[in-house]
Amino acid sequence: MGGAIRNEHSAVVVWLRDHTLPRPESAVNLVEDAVCCGDLTTLQWLIERFDVNMNQALGVAARHGQWDVAIWIVESCELEGHLEKPYSKIFVWAAGDGCLEFLKLSNSRRLWTPNAGTAFEMISLAAGAGHLEVVKWLDEELGINSAGDGYVQAAMGGHLEVLKYLHKNRLRNDSTESLMDAAAENGFLDVVQWLHANSKQESTTRAMDLAACGGHLGVIQWLHEHRSEGCTSTAMHLAAANGRMDVVKWLHAHRSEGCREATLSTAVISGRQDMVQWLHDNRHEVFSCPDAMDIAAGLGYLDVVKWLHENRSEGCTVDAMNLAASNGHLDVVEWLHENRSEGCTVGAMDRAAVNGQLAVVQWLHENRHEGCSVEAMDGVAERGNLEMVKWLHANRTEGCTTMAMDNAASHNHLKVVKWLCRNRSEGCTSEAIKGAFQKGSLDIVVFLHSKRPECRQLECRYPLWISRIEVAEWVLKHFPREFKDCGVEVQPGDWNFGAWLQRVNQMQMD
């Protein structure tokens, strides 16, 4: 039923309600599923048949923004007393989501009394989300005289009407952060202009720096004309890093702060070859960019790599080809091979293999001499890429270690485990079957126990994590002493597994 509820298969849910009755230990999870999905009909059905903790159900509804369900619970169900901690968060979430109806209803039912911390958090979130009516209600009806971080949250979100209300009604501002900086960072010119005219709070160079980072040229130009704080070299640096050519050119023409020696290297990240070239041609800073070509190669920016090769002297390192190979940029790998002398390391083929880049692996095998290491097959096995495992086995001599089968088993890759067992001699360790316990992979557990001598004895220095009841039953049958001595951890919320474990523990005690 839980799966049907979560996937909104209403017809299946209706049929299950009419023809089945869940076990009591499953009811808690079903209630949570119904609440999370807003399935009020199923929730009512469960409440009629099981002892449901409605305080917890209300908390789940609030956490997932199901305010229609939350309102129904308050109106129709019996709640246990005053909703203090941990339920005070419910009202914070309601304020942040702008659900004034729920707040008014809860207040009329005397379900809560907001303390200072909760009240300030409520008004801060409401202001940051632009819920003016909630802000007004908290101030006018509940008498909350502090906005907490509400001023700066409203400025960051561009909620000018909220900001005007807080200012007009003189709610206390508990934040020391510059409101103009916050508004400029997010490009809200109307808020910046209003603050300039109505607030005595200072701004800083961060206003223009952060506006440049976001590409807000209009804000930058207004600050330049009307404010005296200016900016720092961070402005052009961040604009270049984010590919904001218009901002970079404007700062170059109208401001004197310039940029940094690392700006050219940082600009490479944007993939803008025109930006890199413009900085090189027009700025007077002595740029230091020893890793620029490595970065460009790793990101697959071949045009940038070529430009750096032709116009800069820093060159690259083996990381250039290593990173390009790892990320599958074969055209970059080929160009570096033909035009640069740095080469690569075994890490190139290792990471290309692990990331499933077969074309790159094959090219490196045919054209480079570095080869790979055992980390290639070990890592590929962990990813479950059987075709790559087979290719490495057939074409390379490095092989693997016991980590290959251990990792494949721990990540539920039965086909890889079987293939390694039949075609490789390295074997595994007992960590393979322990990993399968944790993953809940009974088929792998059974296979390893029957085929691998390393997995027929179990040393447990730490508690086993067994995620499925059928695996726990198997372990109890085949490793009863270890099961008793090492203990078993159950995933939270798995009531069926928990009840089974309780019965087993009782039997062992008896």
Q: How does pLDDT run across 135-184, given as a tens digit for each residue?
A: 999 999 888 888 889 999 999 999 999 999 999 999 988 888 999 999 99
Helix (H, G, I), strand (E, B) or coil at 486: helix
Q: How far apart are CA 398 and CA 292, in angstroms?
A: 33
- Structural tokens at position 432: 């393979």
Q: How does pLDDT run across 64-109, given as a tens digit for each residue?
A: 999 999 999 999 888 876 656 566 789 899 999 999 999 999 888 8
H-state helical runs in 169-291: 179-185, 189-198, 206-213, 217-226, 234-241, 245-254, 263-267, 273-282
CB-based contacts of 23: which residues, under 8 Å, 6+ apart? Answer: 496
Q: How does pLDDT run across 368-426, given as a tens digit for each residue?
A: 999 999 999 999 999 999 999 999 999 999 999 999 999 999 999 999 999 999 999 99
b/e sequence 33-49, b meaning 16+ C-beta within 10 Å? bbbbbbbbebbebbbee
pLDDT confidence of residue 259: 96
Q: Which residue has the higher pLDDT, 367 or 479?
A: 367
Helix (H, G, I), strand (E, B) or coil at 360: helix
Indicate the domain borders of the chain.
Answer: 178-289, 304-369, 373-455, 458-510
**CATH code for residues 304-369:** 1.25.40
Same fold, 178-289 and 304-369: yes
pTM for the model:
0.79
In this model, does residue 241 exceed pLDDT 70?
yes
Q: How far apart are CA 497 and CA 478, in angstroms?
A: 18
Q: Which helix (H) or strand (E) holds 443?
A: helix 442-451
- Tell me, which fold does domain 373-455 have in CATH? 1.25.40
pLDDT confidence of residue 472: 82
**CATH code for residues 178-289:** 1.25.40.20
Least confident residue range of 209-218, 328-337, 495-504: 495-504
Q: How does pLDDT run across 463-503, given as a tens digit for each residue?
A: 677 777 888 888 888 887 777 666 666 665 566 676 777 77
Assess whether the previous peptide bond of 86 is cis (omega < 30° from 0).
yes
What are the distances in angstroms from CA 288 to CA 264, 311, 378?
Answer: 8, 14, 38
Q: How far apart are CA 31 and CA 46, in angstroms?
A: 7
